[in-house]
């Protein structure tokens, strides 16, 4: 009778385990990329949402300015004194006189709002002095669904 020796050394087992480890590492790497891409996409969406809301609010503020530009006292009554401090728009106390736009869909916790500011100088003389030019600064604040806040600022000039 002949003896049969089992000469298996576990090569197939080691190869299988290495393949499982490689596949697991690839799976973890792919899932990390998906999570990172999702965070980036969410942040980009939030920024776009806040910017679109701010642009709509600026358009609403311009409509108010356009409706009242022929009536300087009314337009001046809508405006507050111009803020000159550094980063004044970040202070929520400076937004207490802002006009909120309730017709827009509020994406975040704050309703989009605008602030019309008068330069306070009384205007600059143009030509013969019969007309004066008055500068208004319109600043808009709108928040996305997350932490993204967009600020837009534009100037409006009237002749009185």
Summarised one tens digit per residue, pLDDT across range 51-79 is 998 998 999 889 888 888 778 788 888 88
Q: Is residue 1 part of a domain?
A: no
Is residue 2 situated within a structural domain? no
Q: Within a domain: residue 5?
A: no
By CB neighbour count within 10 A (0-12 exposed, 13-18 middle, 19+ buried), where does 76 fall? middle
In a domain, 21, yes or no: yes
In a domain, 6, yes or no: no
Q: What whole-number distance in Å separates Cα of residue 113 and Cα of residue 151?
A: 10
In a domain, 126, yes or no: yes
Domain that holds residue 58: 11-159
Q: Is residue 54 in some structural domain? A: yes
Q: Is residue 25 scored above 80 in pLDDT?
A: yes
Q: Is the pLDDT of residue 29 over 90?
A: yes
**How many CA within 13 A on the CB side of residue 106?**
11
Q: How far apart are CA 8 and CA 133, in angstroms?
A: 96
- pLDDT band at 7; cut points 50, 70, 90: low
Query: How many domains, in total, are found in the chain?
Result: 1
**85 within some domain:** yes
Query: pTM surpassing 0.75?
Result: no
Q: What pLDDT shows up at residue 5?
A: 60
């Amino acid at each position: 009778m002949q003896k049969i020796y089992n000469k298996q050394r576990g090569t197939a087992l080691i190869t299988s385990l290495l393949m499982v480890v490689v596949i697991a590492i690839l799976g973890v790497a792919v899932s990390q990329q998906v999570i990172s891409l999702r965070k980036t996409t969410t942040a980009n969406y939030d920024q776009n949402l806040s910017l679109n809301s701010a642009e709509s609010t600026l358009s609403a503020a311009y409509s108010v300015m356009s409706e009242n530009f022929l009536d300087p006292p009314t337009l001046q009554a809508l405006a507050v004194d111009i803020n000159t401090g550094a980063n004044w728009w970040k202070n929520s106390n400076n937004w207490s006189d802002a006009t909120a736009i309730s017709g827009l869909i509020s994406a975040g916790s704050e309703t989009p709002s605008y602030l019309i500011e008068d330069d306070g100088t009384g205007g600059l003389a143009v030509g013969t002095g019969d007309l004066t030019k008055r500068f208004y600064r319109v600043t808009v604040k709108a928040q996305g669904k997350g932490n993204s806040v967009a600020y837009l600022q534009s100037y409006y000039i009237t002749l009185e």
